Structure 1
Amino acid sequence: MEYAKRFDPIESDPQIFTELMHRLGVQENFRFDDVLDYKVESSQPALALIIIFPESQEDEQLKAKVEAKREIVITDKITFLKQTIDNSCGLVAIIHCVLNTVAANSISKPQDPWYL
């Protein structure tokens, strides 16, 4: 899929994801962690899951066909953002994790307006 704009990719690192989420205004008690074994008991519930896997050229072509036919449905329960900038998948995943969980209720104005 060809994109007109491009981001530098975000490293798939829970500390980087967490720092970015906090800088976007999410309360400090939410964080990202690596899940290395889904069978191990955890003391904290998981609110969302980001799965990373490589894509082949064939995957890209199939995705382009599906995306061309997809209708975006917005409901009061699910927020969906379409990725329109190359390499923005990490940022879009973080935003989806926040906006579609209870973490969305914790967003406040960031103390450090680094984005201005």
Structure 2
Amino acid sequence: MATVAGKPRWLPLESNPDVLNKFVKNMGLRGDYEFTDVFGLDPELLAMVPQPVGGVLLLFPVSDNYMERNAEEAREIEARGQTVSDQVYFMKQTISNACGTVGLLHCLGNNQARVQFEDGSYLQRYFAQCAGKSPAERGKLLEEANEISSAHEASAQEGQTDTPALEEDQTLHFICFVEKEGQLYELDGNKEFPINHGPTSPDTLLQDAAVVVRRFMEVTPDDMRFTVMAFSKTQ
């Protein structure tokens, strides 16, 4: 694992379902769930996404407005409190540019009842190690997961865009939305805790996540660098 300014750093993943599906399958994901593009947030485009949806990945631009919004959101939650299910798998991101893999792990970690991992695979071993650990400890375990690091690096070299220099700071960030116990959770490894966005259901996860994605878009309305993918049952 490379380090820049003393902090572990990976190459960023491309927001590309083909790249992500190959990545998770190489790490041991089995079954009929995979990542697929969401081509728009209008109801007719959301209806084209295979169901059921187990998670939603959002890649979006990080701006000063976004950082200010995050700080305000954290203050509001600390003031009023929120309910977070202990069934939510959440981890901290401690590796620069690893937000794509953290987003994938958030998605897979919260769908372990729906998917299968090959016996002895990277994913099976990693999630077994994560059981009972804190978000920070899970982030540290990823730093030590050399097999996942190698798989990430191989995937980061694929895709349709040029691979950036390792020391280059990225302005795009992956997060994940999942449903747990009837609530919609935003999982961002750069935040201190999951964000509960209110009621949802397995059947309406995609539509309810789209409402929150629109709020992200409103923060930087002139920036088109938003992509959305769903983790769906495709067969």
Scaled to the shorter chain, the TM-score interval is 0.7 to 0.9
Looking at structure 1, the residues matched to 101 and 24 of structure 2 have their Cα atoms a distance apart, in angstroms, of: 9
Q: Structure 1 regions of 5+ residues with no counterpart? A: none
Change beyond 3 A, Cα 1:22–1:12: same
Residue 37 of structure 1: how far off its partner (Å): 2.6
Verify: 1:21 aligned to 2:24, yes or no. yes
Q: Counterpart of 1:31 in 2: which secondary structure?
A: strand
Looking at structure 1, the residues matched to 52 and 115 of structure 2 have their Cα atoms a distance apart, in angstroms, of: 17
Verify: 1:84 aligned to 2:94, yes or no. yes
Matched ranges for 1:35-114 at <5 A = 35-38=38-41, 39-40=43-44, 41-42=47-48, 43-57=50-64, 59-60=66-67, 66=74, 75=86, 77-102=87-112, 105-108=115-118, 109-110=120-121
Q: Counterpart of 1:85 in 2: which secondary structure?
A: coil
TM-score by length of 2: 0.39
Q: Could you say which structure has the greater relative contact order, defined with CA pairs below 8 angstroms and 6 or more residues apart?
A: 1
Q: Structure 2 regions of 5+ residues with no counterpart? A: 79-83, 123-145, 151-235
Matched-pair identity in %: 27
Larger radius of gyration: 2
Name the amino acid aligned to 2:8.
K
Are 1:74 and 1:80, in contact at CA under 8 Å, matched by a contact in 2? no
Looking at structure 1, the residues matched to 21 and 36 of structure 2 have their Cα atoms a distance apart, in angstroms, of: 8
Aligned twin of 1:30: 33
